[in-house]
A and B are shown apart, each in its own frame.
Chain A
């Protein structure tokens, strides 16, 4: 059995590799394989998987990529993830990717879909729209159409047919992946000293880069290895991190929060791996199943409209309660419209529920951790004083 160290070392190497060697190797291993990249938030990875292709999460360039050309495309008041993503493209680090999907997370990523079309007209790029209307015959119909467009596009790229059977199989595998991811989160929430956030994060990031079956095994192995270890339990405060669903905080930042006395018991770093709060059914039309599950069992997050004012923002209160958390850290990427526009509203909801919170901004390449350590540390201390 692999040790926890082995697993984390492997994940760290995957995380550090800005050339995506693992995905390249996967593609080269067999003739006719294709890799489809996708940006944060949510895409229906099941369809890509059913096409026999590898969904590859492109979550920016992190803090190790030197951005030169990418900066030439963006003003200083735009977040960093699109510029590092363009840098990855222009430095040929994505030259093996056969298609790119841009979810409807915000206007910046939306516009990036058009830039991709102009920068790489020969490569498939697609704006992956999701419905903001949640009625089955309205948003549901529209979304089924969108899913079918993706299905047909991938069929063309791979010169294959994606059968319903294949789709159902893929749904099963991803249901398992989501189940395991939730288990991992629960494991951390129950015993945060056994599963540091930085490790959980690396496990999740690995899931963006390797085949899902491989990742399912990886999560199992990690939980197994980590749960039998004896690691010291510290007197940390339990917090939820909110607002980091697109541009990712640097690993150092994730570590800094924990080092300053906070156990992160829930977060929204990446959401695609646990987007659905329940299993996608496999006993009906798979496209319809994906569509309806999206309408009825998606996680709540700022890029999706909440039709019901009565429950707007309560998702954060719920996760605080479910995880016995004592406070919320709003960590948003600078210039992130969804996170920053949602924040005052969420703060209001938290205030009503008497849940303490702090907030700061970061960029994926934030270098100085001292202010963050100070803020998070003070927050952790003050939580203890209050309780």
Chain B
């Protein structure tokens, strides 16, 4: 099967989309961008491939008598079990790496205790993984580093203390190892993980009343389809770092324009707010870019602004929006400078302003900057599509809707929950065109 792949290397996350020759999207993957862009793109691609396998499996299971209407639930359970297999595999890798890291001379005096501590930590982590991926459990992130890292740190602190070992040692070993693990190309053996996951699923859910043999056929079929990497197009901020030949690289402006056009063909203006840049793109009826503007040197209009605010308030980035939504009256935030906004925020808190009102003001302020960039590129023409990580933030979306209405009147505003994949989608379409319309 021909696969056309778009990879968008963003400053925070790397996304991949797989498209068939019929322009059907069969897989999407996302991972955190790391120092090694090559690995990030491989991981994102593999994640998309996993997604594609699930898509194929869904097709194969259609009408499966044994599963009946439990097909979706079954797929969800399978994915969960698969993720756990994946997690455990990485956990094992992290453990092996940690042990290797502790072979250094400076650990000579404490090695045996340290090894003991590490053993205990990983036993515990492995046990917790069952809970972590249990039915109905939620995880704070999909990325290994986020899930395993936090737990490793708190567990090792506790266990080190009990063992009379300075916490620094475990910390040190971890810091070194996690980077190594993260930057290692992803392991293969998808089939093994699928089948293990399937076995686990059957073991944990006898009530399903299905046996391994009932479903292994469709699973194996889905896994055996050859997914040919027909053409890959890389885009995004990190694209120049990819070891791709030039014809496999497109600017993110072009990809975002085309991606937005594919999601909403009526789009004429696209606003993308990512971690490090904000872009406003004007496209024609074919998704061809007419004009674009990006934020200037200043970070105030970017996602990073919110990240900074979250750090200042000691909160998670995803918590900002919901709190801001509780506001009844947005405080006017004057500082367009990211760093100054932090100071202004503290000033306002000291003056007794409500946290949600200040946050609402900050969201409005980031969107104000975006409005300026839109104005620079020629304003908003119906329809308007908003993409990027910040498009997931409801408070930002609210501010945007208000400001668009104030400045441009009634305009159709498209926001897709998966808009983070817009650039990769455009890239995949460029890949498809490169082959199919060459």
Contact between A and B in the complex (any CB pair below 8 Å) = yes
A residues touching B (Cβ–Cβ < 8 Å)? 63-64, 66-69, 71-72, 75-77, 363, 365-371
For chain A, what secondary structure do more than half of its interface residues adopt (helix, strand, loop), or is it mixed?
A: loop
Separation of A71 and B336 alpha carbons in the complex (Å): 10
Is A71 a contact partner of B343 (Cβ separation < 8 A)? Answer: no
Q: Does B205 contact A (CB under 8 A)?
A: no
Is A367 a contact partner of B333 (Cβ separation < 8 A)? Answer: yes
Known: A68-B371, A368-B344, A371-B343. A63 touches B334 (CB 8 A): yes
Provide the residues of chain B in CB contact with A368, threshold 8 Å.
335, 340, 343-344, 346-347
Give chain B nearest CB distance to A125 CB in angstroms: 22
B residues touching A (Cβ–Cβ < 8 Å)? 296-298, 300, 332-336, 340, 343-344, 346-348, 350, 368-369, 371-376, 403, 407
Is A366 a contact partner of B376 (Cβ separation < 8 A)? Answer: no
Provide the residues of chain B in CB contact with A370, threshold 8 Å.
343, 346-347, 350
Is B375 a contact partner of A69 (Cβ separation < 8 A)? Answer: yes
- Which one of A67, A76, A365, A369 lies within 8 Å of B347 (CB-CB)? A369
Is A72 a contact partner of B373 (Cβ separation < 8 A)? Answer: yes
Separation of A180 and B418 alpha carbons in the complex (Å): 66
Provide the residues of chain A in CB contact with B369, threshold 8 Å.
71
Separation of A77 and B336 alpha carbons in the complex (Å): 12
Is A75 a contact partner of B296 (Cβ separation < 8 A)? Answer: yes
Is A76 a contact partner of B344 (Cβ separation < 8 A)? Answer: no
Separation of A63 and B332 alpha carbons in the complex (Å): 9
Is B296 a contact partner of A76 (Cβ separation < 8 A)? Answer: yes
Separation of A66 and B298 alpha carbons in the complex (Å): 18
Give chain A nearest CB distance to B3 CB in angstroms: 41
Is B296 a contact partner of A68 (Cβ separation < 8 A)? Answer: no
Other A-B pairs, 16, CB within 8 Å; known A76-B300, A366-B334: A64-B332, A66-B368, A68-B368, A68-B407, A71-B336, A71-B369, A71-B372, A72-B376, A75-B296, A77-B297, A365-B334, A367-B332, A368-B346, A370-B347, A370-B350, A371-B343
Separation of A72 and B301 alpha carbons in the complex (Å): 13
Residue of A76, A363, A365, A369 contacting most chain B CB atoms (<10 Å): A76
Residue of B332, B346, B369 contacting most chain A CB atoms (<10 Å): B332
Provide the residues of chain B in CB contact with A371, threshold 8 Å.
343
- Which one of A69, A71, A76, A367 lies within 8 Å of B335 (CB-CB)? A367
Separation of A41 and B348 alpha carbons in the complex (Å): 33
Provide the residues of chain B in CB contact with A71, threshold 8 Å.
336, 368-369, 372, 375
Q: Which 9 A-B pairs have the closest CB atoms?
A: A72-B375, A71-B372, A367-B334, A76-B298, A365-B334, A368-B347, A368-B344, A367-B344, A72-B376
Separation of A155 and B408 alpha carbons in the complex (Å): 39
